[in-house]
Every structure is written in structure tokens, then in C-alpha cells.
Structure 1
Amino acid sequence: MNAPDNTNLAARQDFYKRIDVQHLAPLWEQLHSLVTPTPKSACRPVHWSYAAVRTHLDEAGRLITAEEAVRRVLILENPGLRGQAAATTSLYAGLQMILPGEIAPPHRHTQAAIRLILEGEGAYTAVDGEKTLMQRGDFVITPAWHWHEHGNETEAPMVWLDGLDVPLVAMLDASFAQNADQAPKEKRNGGESKARFGSNLLPVDYVAPTPASPLFKYPYAQALDALRTIAAGNAPDACHGHKLRYANPVTGGYPMPTMGAFIQLLPDGLATQGYRCSSGTVFAVIDGALEVEIGDMRFTAQPNDVFVVPSWAEHRFTAQGETTVFSFSDRPVQEALGLWREQRN
């Protein structure tokens, strides 16, 4: 190997300093870190125990009202992305609680939102004035730029997992929002969206105003029945068990253009093969329990626990009892851009 040419090296460093003041930089010094053979994410695997976090939600409920907070949420911050309000590099996650008698006031924003109901039943979310009652395990969506509010007319707290495309929208500098004083006052009949879009029927001549699903709630009972029917007559997939994706009933695509949501059933004792994909994914156990392996990390995920699998991180699950798991990721964006990849090991 030839000895380094110190004269040339000094000339390069001088060149870099001179072009730096004109906001220029040499690509050849950074190319190896910009174009990597496989994803090199700052996102790290992480597990939040619901039992541990729930006590902090109770304290938050005593410290601040839903009206004051606008949304009483504890952000689930990835340890590799602290200060960015991010669970993965493109997605936000948080646990929201609304207490009996509270109303979280209406607002709208360009960030799309999904919710998985973890605790309680009978509280509501309203999208564009239409109330939808929520039960544990239900998947509920709020499309981008739709007015939405939440209320709890029951006698028990309601808790759900929020998922939003906040980091993605921030990266695109596309955040817009409006608050309660600008919200429309008209109300719609509860169940109208289900009647129009949830029965394998569509209004005649319907033209979708947005790429998001017009169906706001996907009941857990319906999804679980579908999974169990499939499981009764079919062997589980080696990597996923029995897994379905939530769909937009108008297009057959994902409920949101920026976020895909999935639900899977793993029979008791199933140990999945190693799997990885390019979309960092947020998981939540609904029922049952999972032994989770993500690289060298090991933990048991109990009902309502949330965990993150970073992009291209190999992982395996082992079910303890019949287990149902919800997940969401940025897979729709990656597929639309031709970026999404998976690998079975």
C-alpha cells in the first residue's frame, strides 16, 4: 500500500474549507454513509410494558385535563430517536387516555391518525361530526385533514394506542392544523359510514374525495372472527401465522396512503421463522402473549404492550396461548415508491 500523500491530503482539506463557506460539500467523503448496502436506521428495538406505563397515564390524568392538553397522550419515544416524537423514523406512537365525562375538543391536521383501542368500551370518536363508539381491539382511523374529537360518556377510563405519520409529514414540511373554534357544528348520524361503505356496498356513482378509507371503524370482533375462520382450515404461515391487512373498502388498498395496519393470529405454541422487512413497524399485543426476539433482544409482550421492530431487523415470535397482534408501518409509502423489501430466513 502506498503511503498517504500528505501534500495532497492538505490540499483537499483546504479545498473543503473553501467550498464550505459557499455551502458545498464533497459527496465522495459521504457516499458510503448515504448509500448503504442495507438500511442503517437510528431506530432501535424497544418494548413498552402497558402495566408500567398505565400508572403514568393515571398520574397524567390527575395533572392535566383533556381540554387543557387538547390530547392527553404519553409519547412512546424510540430510544434511538429521543426528542423527535418518533417511534420509528417515519411514524409516531403514543398512549392516549380520556376519563369519564371528558371531551377532547375537535381539531384537524394534515397528519393522518390511526387508533387501536386498548382499554374500556363505549367512549366515542367523532370524524366530521359522525360519532363512532369504540370497543377494545377496534381499529379506528382519522384521515388527514378531517375534523375529529373524542368523548367519554361512560364511567371508566378509555385508553388507546395512537399512530400518526408525524415524522413523515414533518420531513416533507407539510404540517397544517386548525383548532376547535373553526370546526363545523353539523352532526351526522352514527353508523352512517358503516352503512355506506361497510357492507360490501358503495353509494351509486361514488367518487372518493381522498385516498383514505371512508370507513372509520374496523371492529375487532369482526377481524377476530375472520382470523379464526381462516385458522380453522389452513396451516399458519411460517413467518406470520395468520395475518390480514386492513383495507379501504373503496379501493382495496390501505386505509391510509401513508400507513398500513395489520392484524395477525398466532396459534398457541407457534414459533415463527426469522423475518425482516424494510418498514419499521409498531406492534401491539391484543390478546395472548408473545416471546419476542429482535436481533439480540428478548422480552415477553403481554396484552396491550407495545414494541417496535426497526427496519431490516430480523425478528421471531413465539405465541403463549392463542395470540392476536396489531401492527402498523409505513409500508404503503415504501410500496408506492418501489422501496419495500422483505426477507424470510
Structure 2
Amino acid sequence: MNAAIPTAQVREQLYRDMDRHHLTPLWEVLHALVPPSPKTPCVPALWKYEEVRPFLMRAGDAITAEEAVRRVLILENPSLRGQSCITQSLYAGLQLILPGEVAPSHRHTQSALRFIVEGRGAYTAVDGERTTMQPGDFIITPSWTWHDHGHEADEPVVWLDGLDIPMLRFFDAGFAQNDTSKSQQVTRPEGASFARYGHNMVPVRHDPPFGKTSPIFSYPYERSREALEQLERHGPVDAWDGFKLRYVNPLTGGWTMPTIGTFMQRLPAGFEGQGWRQTDGAVYSVVEGEGEVLITGERGESRYAFGPRDHFVVPSWHTARLSSRAGCVLFSFSDRPVHEALGIHREERLS
């Protein structure tokens, strides 16, 4: 009898009958779940600092750092508005702190990075140690460590926040706790973590202070810039990346953070890079110099001219080509450590 009923009608009846049992047919969604190539809803985007900065300063007039807890303007991917993310796994925002302010102490399971964009003299304190912020510095807040920010100088300070908030949200593993005081007690002198772990030597007997995260939580730009200069002076230029280095955990030689990979690269004057694509979406902050990025995906091409303090995102599996007429330096971060840990990372370098 069923043979006389059209197949479509049989299927529709099956779907209706099993729906109340919370069942759905895989064959209707299989191609979307397992596509022939990576698919992302994210799109390329550029945030020009000259356009963003006035809104940051207005935010400084509208709300205090203490009231806001963190005075940040989120860099939202245009195709993911309202989700507080720049890619599906990463969060990015620009944080402002003004002279005399304190962003109060708290901790959370999310790992965070700070990349200093503008201004000098503010500090961040992590687990009892302070570090003074300078432009181009990369600073880590390891998961579940007390941290606060303060400003004792006389100019606004802005930094890029990068966190794994969407990733931990996916795992339902996000927790936070406010401290009982605005600023944590400083128990170690500034530079103590670098003195202990930053000279290619480590104590013979020690426990990693931050678990899988680097025991050095401040990587000054002057050292990163020097390393790039040495590489440019003595090493061959890479046709895709120019001169690119990754920050490392001195205890393991691996990533500085278990969920976020961080990089610094120099594009020499006259660089015309070849195209590449990778499964990890990447967020870029322009440290110095100017250049251009061409990003190509299924929705077409996006070409952005960038300058100092601008930010842009290259989504997963989008082809990117970098170029710079006069030379530039770029900081970037991505979720590559997770991809590699899961064995799912893919990269193609195109010629």
C-alpha cells in the first residue's frame, strides 16, 4: 500500500511523526554539516583607527572604567552582529583607560591577550605582578588569574583585547568572579616573571605558574621588533608572510596560550605577497607602517589599505595576499593552537 503513496508524501509524514520525539533526518542536512570545503558565516572587515578612536574617547566621557568594569568597544564581525565576536571562536575589542582610572580586579576562565595600541604608562597586574604598558607590547592574562588595570600617567591608553569567549561559550565553560578589592596586592616586582623564565633558562625545580599558559605574561615590543630586524637582516624573505615569528611559551616551546596563537611579522619595503588560506581565522593589528590586504572568498574580493593602529580580520579559508610599498609590522592572533591540538588545521600556500 505504501508503494502507491508518492515518496515525498511518505517522507513528509515521517518527518511530522518523528518531530515530536525530537528527531530529524541527517540526509536533509548532511551537505551543510559536512561541506566539501570549510564554510564560515564570517566576512572580511577593516576597522580604521581614525574612525574608531573618536567613539572610544566619547565612551570615556560616557562611562567610567570602574562602572563599566571594562570600557571596551567590541569589534563585531559584520555578519555576526549581536554575537560579540570577530570570528565564530574569537572575541576582539578596543579598551580605553584614562589617567587616574582603575579597571577593577576580577578573574575568568577565558584566556585574554592585550596588545597595546596607543599611549604609555598604564599598567596591568596579573597574579600579584604589574607590567607597564608600551605600544606594541603583547601581554597575557592567563585563565582564572586575578587581573586589574590602572593608569598613573597623563595620556589615554588603548589596547586590543583578544579572548576565547565564543570558544568557551561553545563548551559551556565560562565562569567569572569579581575581587573584593579594586586592585590586587602587588607581591612581586615588575619583571619578575621575565627574570625567572625569559632568558632561555628556567628554574630546575618549578611548577608552571599558569598551567599551559606561558609563565611570561609580558612580551615587550622592543624585543619583538629586535627579533624581526635580526630575521630580516640575516634570513630569506618568505613569499607569503615576509618575516613572521610566533610568540612561544619558554617552558614548552609551544604556544603562549592553549587556545590563542599570537604572531608578529614584518613586511619589507616593496613586498608583494603570494596568496594563502588557512582554517584558523586571524585578527590583525597594524603596529607601524602601511600596506594592503586582498581577501578573497565565496562572496567576492575585499581590498583594504591599512595604516598604523588599524585592525582587520581574515576569516577561515579566505585567500589573503599582503603587500606593502614602504614596509610595515603586523601583530596577529588566531585559534590555531586549538586546530592543531585537534588535528584539524589546514593551510594552503598558493602560487
Pairwise TM-score range, normalised by the shorter structure: over 0.9
Match of 2:266 in 1: 265
1:254 aligns with 2:245: no
Report the equivalent of 2:240. Answer: 239
Query: Which residues of 2 match residues 21-100 of structure 1 at below 5 A?
Result: 21-100=20-99
Cα pair 2:105 2:184 within 8 Å, conserved: no
Q: How many angstroms does 1:45 deviate by?
A: 0.3
Matched, 1:166 2:165: yes
The residue type equivalent to 2:14 in the other structure is F
Structure 1 distance, partners of 2:331, 2:36, is 30
**1:339 paired residue number:** 344
Indicate whether 1:330 and 2:335 are aligned: yes
CA contact (8 A) 2:148 2:184 kept: no
Q: Which amino acid aligns with 1:124?
A: Y
Match for residue 305 of structure 1 among 305, 310, 315:
310
Shift of 1:148: 0.4
CA distance in 2, matches of 1:172, 1:146: 20
Matches within 5 A, 1:203-242: 203-209=203-209, 210-242=211-243
Gaps of 5+ in 2: none
Give the Cα separation in 2 of the matches to 1:107 and 1:203: 29
Report SS of the residue matched to 2:215. coil
AA at the equivalent of 1:261: T
Distance 1:184 1:301 in 2: 38
How many angstroms does 1:269 deviate by?
A: 1.2
Deviation, 1:208, is 1.6
How many Å apart are 1:122 and its aligned residue? 1.7
Aligned AA (1:143): P
The one-letter amino acid paired with 1:220 is Y
Q: 1:250 to 1:88 in 2, by over 3 A?
A: same
Amino acid at match of 2:241: H
1:78-114, CA deviations, whole angstroms, 9 ceiling, x for partnerless residues?
Answer: 0111111000110000000000000000000000000
Letter in 1 for 2:199: S
Identity of aligned residues (%): 54
Task: Give the Cα–Cα distance (whole angstroms) in 1 for the partners of residues 65 and 325 of structure 2.
Answer: 36
CA distance 1:186–1:226, change in 2 (3 Å): closer
Structure 2 length-normalised TM:
0.95
Q: CA 1:29–1:301 in structure 2 vs 1: closer, same or farther (change >3 Å)?
A: same
What TM-score results when the alignment is normalised by the length of structure 1?
0.97
Native 8 Å contact 1:288 1:321 kept in 2: yes
Counterpart-to-counterpart distance in 1, 2:104 and 2:188: 17
Name the structure 2 match of 1:198.
198
- CA-atom RMSD, angstroms? 1.2
Mapped partners of 1:127, 1:181: distance in 2? 16
For residues 104-144 of structure 1, what are the alpha-carbon distances to aligned partners after superposition, in whole Å with 9 as ceiling and x for unaligned? 00000000000110001121000012110110000000010
Cα offset, 1:186, TM superposition: 5.5
Letter in 1 for 2:80: L
Deviation at 1:184, TM superposition (A): 5.9
Q: Distance in 2 between matches of 1:320 and 1:152?
A: 37
Specify the code of the residue in structure 1 equivalent to 2:233: A
5+ residue gaps, structure 1, are none
Cα pair 1:285 1:325 within 8 Å, conserved: yes
Q: What CA deviation, in whole Å up to 9, does each residue of 1:280-338 have, x standing for no partner?
A: 00011100011110011111011110000000100101113121000000000000000
CA contact (8 A) 2:125 2:184 kept: no
Provide the C-alpha distance between the structure 2 equivalents of 1:117 and 1:154, rounded to a whole number of angstroms.
15
Q: d(CA) in 2 for partners of 1:312 and 1:52?
A: 28
